[in-house]
Amino acid sequence: MSHLLAPRKHIHLLNQGEKFSSFSAKERINRSYLSLTIRLSLLAPDIVEAILNGTQPATLQLADLEEPFSAIFD
């Protein structure tokens, strides 16, 4: 669940003008991981809700969300 909450903080700081590279260095976050967390913030609300409610597909893993998005929730 923390993978869904962290991006909100990251996006908030980036929206305040923080540069991506300086933010990742300051927070000691790998740039690839930062990109991933920001990407997770783009999940559709119904997907996030399903994850938070525990009603996502039983086979869903974080690695699945790291791949190009697909129609796994159809």
Residue 74, in any domain of the structure: no
Residue 28 belongs to what domain range? 2-66
User: Could you give the number of structural domains in the chain?
Assistant: 1
Residue 18, in any domain of the structure: yes
Dihedrals φ, ψ of 17, to 5°? 105, 0
Residue 16, in any domain of the structure: yes
Residue 48, in any domain of the structure: yes
Q: Kindly report, residue by residue over 1-60, the tens digit of the pLDDT.
A: 556 666 667 777 777 877 878 888 888 888 888 888 778 878 888 988 898 899 999 998
Residue 73, in any domain of the structure: no
Q: Kindly report, residue by residue over 22-38, the tens digit of the pLDDT.
A: 888 888 888 888 888 77
pLDDT at 19: 81
Residue 71, in any domain of the structure: no
> What are the residue ranges of helices labelled H in 1-74?
2-15, 20-26, 31-40, 45-53, 62-66
